[in-house]
Amino acid sequence: MTTEAQTPYARLLKVVAKVEPHEVKAVTVSLVYFFFLMASYFILRPMRDAMGTVYGVENLQELYTGTFIVSFLVAPAYAFCASRIKLATFLPWVYGFIAATMVVFFVLFTTTEEGQDRWVAAAFFVWTSTFNLLIISVFWTLMADMFSRTQAKRLFGFVAAGGTFGTLAAPTFTALFVNSVGVNTLLLISAGGFTITAFLVKVLEKEKKKFGEMGGDVQKTTLDRSLGGNPFEGFAVILKSPYLLMIALFILLMTTISTIVYFQLGDLISKNFESREARTQVYALIDLAVNGTTVFLQLFATGRIIERFGVTTGLLINPLVMIFAFLAVAFSPVLIVLGSLQVVRRFAEYAVAKPSREMLFTVLDQESKYKAKNVIDTVVYRFGDVTSAWLSAAVLPYGVAGLAIAGIVASLIWLPIAFLLGKRYENVRAGELVGKAAPAAAE
């Protein structure tokens, strides 16, 4: 019988992304898992953005405040469950729960009377903006718990391409069929996708066990356990580690930039397009442009770029790009320029910066990955959103150019943080990568 190492598919992965024979199944399942995860969310994303304009762009800061509050409540609830339920059981149910909430919103949108949909739109915006970070955090936490630091440099960019394929397929479907199937039906399609991801997590659990039995350069942890501790331990872990605090600051500045761009774009789109469907299509087309330009680089170049130039370079790309992008908007604050800025920003983030950022967690112990990372990816992220949202709302009356100046200032602060964080990660010694010693080494 043909062995895994001899199959044409395995040889192709070896050439494209340096995937070793024993990694083929795990990498493939991870890629497919990320595809369904991101497709399920990105079907909802244009709808979520459109719901924000239904509530009112001038009041978006209220939605961001609500999202931060809900995120602050969800993070300890997630930690509570992870501390008492085996990870192998708990992680799939995260996606099952999200799927159930989408069915609930389908019923709400279908039955809500005219005039009351503004509040349902607000609830949908807040909940979608809360769980989107949670589900992606769970995915990358599992990846950091499954693949070692050296594996991550080779594989994370390629695995990320699965998510980009998902983000490419979903807005394409939305842009083409939202008028024929209706906005509400997208909720049921998304629920089906999340259900599939729950089953794929179980497959990865088995692959992780195989890795552990092989020995060598692999993570030695297991999902067949709960984490223990208390629901707020993730906050304490962050405060005790300068390395994690620096990651939190990096994320805070990143979200500040993205929220400024979001306000700029929302203001111009709401002024240029009247209907909910038209706004949904515009957001979907922007997503399509981003993801179409990203996937090729992730498949064939991201891993090689990071291996060649290091994680520091990957982290520096976004702040450097945004300094020049905001300068362009300041001089020409029109929709085509701002739309192009959003495409460039997210291309740089998804293609290189995101995989680089997730590699920072491969050197941490399992508790830090599942507890501290979740807090950073949800509470810290949304704190950056809410503070930037109120700042953007205050600056918005001065025009899109005023927001661009604020973005330039934030990017200039972000740049040295990215450099210092990358250097700390790359200076961790090889003997200090596993277990409790890792965070101390990074400090």
Cα–Cα distance measured from residue 246 to residue 249, given in angstroms and rounded to the nearest whole number:
5
The confidence score (pLDDT) of residue 39 equals 93
| pLDDT attached to residue 432 | 44
pLDDT number for residue 32: 95
Return the domain boundaries, the chain: 18-442
- Residue 64, token pair as written in the block: 């961001």
Q: Diameter of the chain by CA atoms?
A: 69
CATH of domain 18-442: 1.20.1250.20
Encode the chain (443 residues) as per-residue pLDDT tens digits.
345 556 888 888 888 778 888 889 999 999 999 999 999 998 888 788 778 777 776 677 788 788 888 888 888 888 888 888 888 889 999 999 999 999 999 998 888 765 567 788 888 989 998 888 889 889 988 998 888 888 888 888 888 888 888 877 887 787 777 777 777 888 999 999 999 999 999 999 888 888 777 766 667 777 888 877 777 888 888 888 888 999 999 988 888 887 777 776 776 777 777 666 677 677 777 767 776 677 666 666 676 777 777 788 888 888 888 888 788 777 776 667 767 777 777 767 777 777 888 888 888 888 788 888 888 888 888 888 778 777 777 776 766 677 778 788 888 999 999 999 988 887 764 334 333 433 333 33
Q: How confident is the model at residue 35, as a pLDDT?
A: 95
**What residues contact 263, with CB distance under 8 A and at least 6 apart?**
57, 60, 389, 392, 393, 396, 403
Flag whether the pTM goes above 0.85: no
The dihedral of CA 246, 247, 252, 255: what is its sign?
A: positive
pLDDT (0 to 100) of residue 436: 42
Q: What is the pLDDT of residue 228?
A: 73
